[in-house]
Chain A
Amino acid sequence: MSDVNGQLGLKENAEFVRACQSAGGRVGGLVCIHTTFTCSESFIRQAFKLGKSLNGLTHMHVSVGRYEPEHTLETHGPRTIAFCDSLGLRHPKCWRPSVSGWTLPKWN
């Protein structure tokens, strides 16, 4: 995967959302960023900002399996939910329907 493909995806998302809004039918578009372990911090911020500018929701998975909580803890420091909060993703325009794994407390 590449930065170029990521930016092309954002562009395609935006064009699709606008086209759906203009058409006003039963099909709508959202921006989606997958997870915190497949997108960089700057890319997540960029995508969420784009989603808000389109007056739509931005979708993401949170705490996928055991992998994401462990990855977030090791890579960013806070656990997944706290990391998402630090990026401003606890927001009515961020849709996180599938929290699929546990973010276990860190025992000392």
Chain B
Amino acid sequence: MVEAPDGLLILPDFTTDTPGDSPRPGWGYASSAQRWLMWANTPPYARNVQTAAKERRQAGSFPPGLSMDTLILYSVLAHVIPLAVSPSGFWPFKESFWWPWVEDPLDHPMIQAATDMQCSRMLACGVTGFCDILEAPSALLGCISLQAEVVQGHGIRSSCRSRLPSG
């Protein structure tokens, strides 16, 4: 017996409900008695669609909660670096600013402090999950484990990965 939705029904093209799993085509969410249900366009779910008070179909994918799908945690450290001249173009930005001023000076305490600050900021504005990219041609080893320890302390859900340099 499928519980009937009585509130908002959201049916995007894809829904992601479990971290790490592939998005599910044809699935969405429906509210019922103050909770959210997984919902689908197919039976036995579809026959109860008429009971929803408000239906919204939207293109694209729908993640649970507020999530940031691409974040560089330590990028916050770039916010206070004064520049006499702003670099223009992709490689000038990397070569004259991002690598020498942000990534090359990184050390483990800076990674930890930046992660702590970013997690606090995200939680303060309602973000419940994020995916971080730890990048750099000269990336320090051991950083993702340090980040993970800080993130676990905040209780926020995340996927951390190292953006790998050329091989």
Interface string of A43-82 (1 = CB under 8 A from B): 1001100000000110100001111000000000000000
The answer to whether A26 and B165 touch (CB under 8 A), given A5-B138, A16-B160, A98-B70, is: no
Whole-angstrom CA separation of A39 from B162 in the bound complex: 13
Q: Please, which residues of chain B bring their CB within 8 A of the CB of A104?
A: none
- Cβ-defined contact, A6 with B151, below 8 A: no
Closest to B157 in A: A26
Judge whether A25 is part of the interface by a CB distance below 8 angstroms: yes
B141 adjacent to chain A (CB < 8 Å): yes
Main secondary structure of the interface of B (DSSP, over half): mixed
Question: Which chain B residues lie closer than 8 Å to A29 at the CB level?
Answer: 144, 148, 159-161
Which residue of the partner chain A has the closest CB to B147?
Answer: A27
Is B156 in contact with chain A by the CB < 8 A criterion? yes
Contact A43 B164 (CB under 8 A): yes
Residue of B nearest to A71 (CB): B90
Residues of B within 8 A of A30 (CB): 131, 159-161
Task: Name which residue of chain B comes closest to A25, CB basis.
Answer: B152
Is A87 in the interface zone, CB < 8 Å from B? no
Contact B144 A26 (CB under 8 A): no
- CB neighbours (8 Å) of B157 from chain A are 26-27
Across the two chains, which residue of chain B brings its CB closest to A21? B20
A5 touches B159 (CB 8 A): no
Q: For the side of the interface on A, what is the size category?
A: 35 or more
B134-167 residues at the A interface, CB under 8 angstroms: 135, 137-139, 141-142, 144-145, 148, 151-152, 155-167
**Which residue of chain B has its CB nearest to the CB of A65?**
B90
State which of A5, A16, A56, A97 has its C-beta within 8 Å of the C-beta of B145: A16
List of B residues within 8 angstroms of A40 by Cβ: 166-167
Do A5 and B158 touch across chains, with their CB atoms under 8 A apart?
Answer: no
Q: Once the chains bind, are A43 and B160 in contact (CB under 8 Å)?
A: no
Closest to A55 in B: B20
Add 13 more A-B contacts to A34-B164, A43-B166 (CB < 8 A): A1-B138, A1-B166, A13-B164, A16-B162, A26-B157, A27-B160, A29-B148, A30-B160, A30-B161, A32-B162, A33-B163, A34-B163, A39-B166
* Residues of A in contact with B (beta carbons under 8 Å apart): 1-3, 5-10, 12-13, 16, 19-20, 25-34, 38-40, 42-43, 46-47, 56-57, 59, 64-67, 92-93, 97-98
